């Protein structure tokens, strides 16, 4: 199973646009990934640990190691492709 770290902030408009996209992908791939939402204003240490310079930023972890990263808002199709390419095929 992979984990996606979703770095966001309450005031970030692109982050708000991506919320339903993340919800849909998480529902579609339930049991194959988890999404951890990290508010950069409330958790600056985690943001610094992952070198997050702009939001939204999505970090894909496999076995607690970063394997991919996407920065900025994108279409639902592009986000789904980004996520699916990082999930092992059954």
- Residue 89 domain flag: no
pLDDT at 89 over 90: no
Provide DSSP, 41-77. Answer: TT-HHHHHHTT--SSSEEEEEETTEEEEEEES---HH
Domain count, the chain: 1
Query: Any idea what the CATH number is for the domain that residue 8 is in?
Result: 3.40.30.10
| SS3 (DSSP) at 28 | helix
Cα torsion through 19, 20, 21, 26, rounded to 10: 90
pLDDT at 68 over 90: yes
* Domain interval for residue 66: 2-84
Q: Which residues pair with 36 in a beta bridge?
A: 5
In a domain, 66, yes or no: yes
Residue 90 in domain: no
Query: Can you give the pLDDT at residue 90?
Result: 55
Decide if 41 is inside a domain.
yes
Over residues 55-67, the mean pLDDT reads 95
- Tens digit of each residue's pLDDT (9 = 90 or more) over 1-36: 899 999 999 999 999 999 999 999 999 888 899 999
Residues known to be catalytic = 12, 15
Residue 32 structure tokens: 């194959």
């Amino acid at each position: 199973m992979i984990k996606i770290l979703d770095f966001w902030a309450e005031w970030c408009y692109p982050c708000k646009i991506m919320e339903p996209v993340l919800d849909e992908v998480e529902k579609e791939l339930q049991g194959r990934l988890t999404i951890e939402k990290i508010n950069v204003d409330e958790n600056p240490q985690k943001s610094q640990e992952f070198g997050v310079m702009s939001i939204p930023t999505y970090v894909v972890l496999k076995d607690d190691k970063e394997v991919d990263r996407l920065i900025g808002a994108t279409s639902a199709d592009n986000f789904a492709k980004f996520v699916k390419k990082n999930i092992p095929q059954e």
